[in-house]
Amino acid sequence: MTTTIPQVPVNPQDPTSNPTSTPAEQMHSIGQPLPRIDGLAKVTGQAIYSFDHALPDMVFGTILSATIPHGQVVRVDHRRALALPGVLRVYSCENQPPTPPRVEGGAPYIWFDREIRYDGQDVAMVVATTQAIADEAVGLITVDVAPAPFVATVRAAMAPDAPQAGETPNVEDPGSPYGEPAQYTRGDVAAGLLEAAVTITAAYDLPSQIHNPWEAHVTLATWDGDCVTVYDSVQYPIGARNFIANALGIPSEQVRVIAEYVGGGFGSKLSTKTQAPLAALAARHLERPVRVRLTRAQMHRNARHRPQTLHHLRLGATSAGILTAIDHEVWSGGAPKAQYYESAASTSRYLYACPNLRSAHWRVRVNQNPPGSMRAPGEQQSQFALECALDELAHALRIDPITLRQRNQASTHAVSGKPFSRNSIPTLLDLGSQRIGWDQRAQPPGSQRDGALWRGIGCAVAFYPLHMARAEGRVRLQADGSVLVESSGVDLGTGTYTILAQAAADGLGTTPADITVHLGDTTLPVAPIAGGSMLAASVTPAVYSAALDARQQLIDAALDLPDGLFAGCSASDLVIGAGRVTHRRDAGRAITFAELLRLRGTTEIVGQCNFAADDLPMEYGNFGAHFAEVTVDVETGIVRVPRFVAVHDSGRVLNPTTYRSQIRGGIIWGLSAVLLEASHMDGHRGRITNANLVEYLVPTALDIGEIDVTWLDEPDAGANALGMKSAGEVGITGAAPAIANAIFNATGLRLRHPPFQPPRVLMALRAAGITA
């Protein structure tokens, strides 16, 4: 159903502005700014991350990485490493461990490949009694290689005479690995461009970027008979379990993965990395627990990344600003033998109404570590290019950029043909423009100057589609009065522990203080990946429904008591809390869970729900309007963002504290992506030159100004049982283009190759003849 959007946004600083749920829903915990229930454990060191686990007799593994981008391993000499006291074993392609065929079928897992496809690829691993000895020993291994021609950057790989990165052509159509084709056309783009009163052509070059979660990839493996327990820092424990099982050639039932706390992931930990099966393999051979971790440099060179993407756009519109054509073509960095490509022109297909559209993706294979998902993969790059191009079109048309976007809003998803449940972008743009003071922006661009500081304001739309997947929720009411919520899903620091406690509390009719949440264990109920903003939207409704089921069982048991304690009562007369069932108006009529379960002859009541992500009749999305105020110092090239405004619509907001944190985090990363972050590849050596956190720039607290986050809090009823959507990805999607567009408003210069670090900005200013 389509719901009505309130015209006044929620301000988390003003609790009275938050619309309350209807009495029928009786949601007393959901919607409240409950502090993170795991916060105390984290700040006092009681939260045990994968890196923190230690077991008796534990030993340590260090991986040796390739130092050439392409070639063959001719020989690996382990002898000096094995002679070092404390070294227990060395693995390489010279002693490739035999592995039976995968349980799921296919060729056996290759532990160490003789063919080197990128600098940083695993070549060998040392296991030793201490981490220091293992680190020293890898330096004693001699690797003889036969280098081969390589290509390390997207532009170089696209050259006609470029060497081939792998076994297939460098530039290729990826096909449809994600279910939708890489090439998409509707209408007649050429005719739409001819029809247009104004057209613009723009090219954008977006760099490769690295996830850099605070906790590196790390695995501790220990065996008990034929079964292995793996402590892994991963976003999808069930996927990690299956990967490890297939690498070892054993049934997945013999692998248990535990990830109670995960120190960030941002997509880099959607799948476990090679250190996990290597740790399990070594632990089996040595019959001792083995821990293997990646170094920070290896996190850059061998742990996925957001690939470089080159964008070419052509837009056409009538004089009134109605789009007649969009042509968005993208070349995305890939890797030899890797299927992944960045769907970085996908959002252009449906975010705005346009009858004539072409969206084309090309995978460009280079000799670099395989790319992978990074916060809002595809959407972040797609919306940067599209939103900047729309700003260019608005300037060419002499139309307000907000007006241009509002005139072209889509009521139907052009690819699926389904109507959007609602499209709140016009409302969000109006509200955001009021909060930022849009009418005070520089008109014309470059006209607001305070000495060397030039000011500007820019805007962009933020969008991320709703993703849901199968999830099971389990809620246990136990005889001691405790309530356990269980899920194999993980909390990356996003607040999953907290919102599941809130959902269970409202489903049961109790408080979050009565709830204990267990997460991150493959022995617990099925949950999807903590990525794609999928986990919260899938598991939270499942847990809420499981709590309703448990509550109904408990109420039914109380009403059926043989002693008639609640004789003549209905379910609405009873309340649950503090381990008791109590009459709403007569506190003397009460019974503890323990007594109720004893009389019932059971030890617990288990509420369950198997949430199925059905094919919904509408398209559901997370919408936002982003506005950035920037200053550009034309003497130094330094760009700062003193103020940022974001207004969002994500359906029902489960917890204002965690929601606001998610949106702010996305905005901060968007700022970082456009002003600071880039992985620099030396095209002559095929090696990343800034594989550290000194030269790979990320923001500090001093780089972040005021961030004003507000939202519409209206359930999107058809999405799921709670009418909620998600917040993890959408915050990053509009931030970077809003800042880029603000730089144009401040200076009149259109910068198209982020990051806009001071040297690059200063060169552009001087090239345009701009000085203080």
pLDDT at 25 over 60: no
Name the token pair of 503. 């959902």
Architecture of domain 309-467+617-767: 2-Layer Sandwich (3.30)
DSSP codes of every residue in 419-477: BBS---HHHHHHHHHHHHTGGGS-SSTT--EETTEEEEEEEEEEEEE-----EEEEEEE
Cα–Cα distance measured from residue 352 to residue 405, given in angstroms and rounded to the nearest whole number: 8
pLDDT at residue 753, as a whole number: 98
- What is the structure's pLDDT at 106? 63
C-alpha span between 245 and 277 (Å, rounded): 8
pLDDT in the model for residue 715: 95
Which pLDDT tens digit goes with each residue over 296-335? 999 999 999 999 999 999 999 999 999 999 999 999 999 9
Domain ranges of the chain: 21-47+469-611, 51-149+217-293, 309-467+617-767
Whose tokens are 């009021």? That residue is 434
**Is 325:345 a contact under the CB 8 Å cutoff?**
no
Q: What mean pLDDT is predicted for residues 684-701?
A: 97
Q: Which residues contact 69 (CB under 8 A, 6 or more apart)?
A: 116, 117, 118, 119, 150, 152, 367, 368, 685, 686, 687
Distance CA 554, CA 545 (A): 14
Residue 24 has pLDDT above 80, yes or no: no
Question: Which CATH class, in words, describes the domain spanning 21-47+469-611?
Answer: alpha beta
Average pLDDT, the chain: 93
Interval 547-591: pLDDT, tens: 999 999 999 999 999 888 999 999 999 998 888 899 999 999 999
> Is 215 a catalytic site residue?
no
CATH code of domain 51-149+217-293: 3.30.365.10
What's the number of CA atoms in the CB half-sphere (13 Å) around residue 518?
A: 16
* C-alpha span between 470 and 610 (Å, rounded): 7
Look up tokens 């009389």; give the residue: 599
| Mean pLDDT, residues 20-33 | 65
- pLDDT for 21: 30
Bridge partners for 681 per DSSP: 688
What is the reported pLDDT for 105? 63
Output the CA torsion 202→183→650→705 (10° steps).
-30
Encoded tokens for 560: 């059926």
Q: Comparing 22 with 302, which gets the higher pLDDT?
A: 302
Percent of the chain with pLDDT over 90: 88
pLDDT tens for each residue of 621-674? 999 999 999 999 999 999 999 999 999 999 999 999 999 999 999 999 999 999
For residue 562, the model assigns a pLDDT of 83
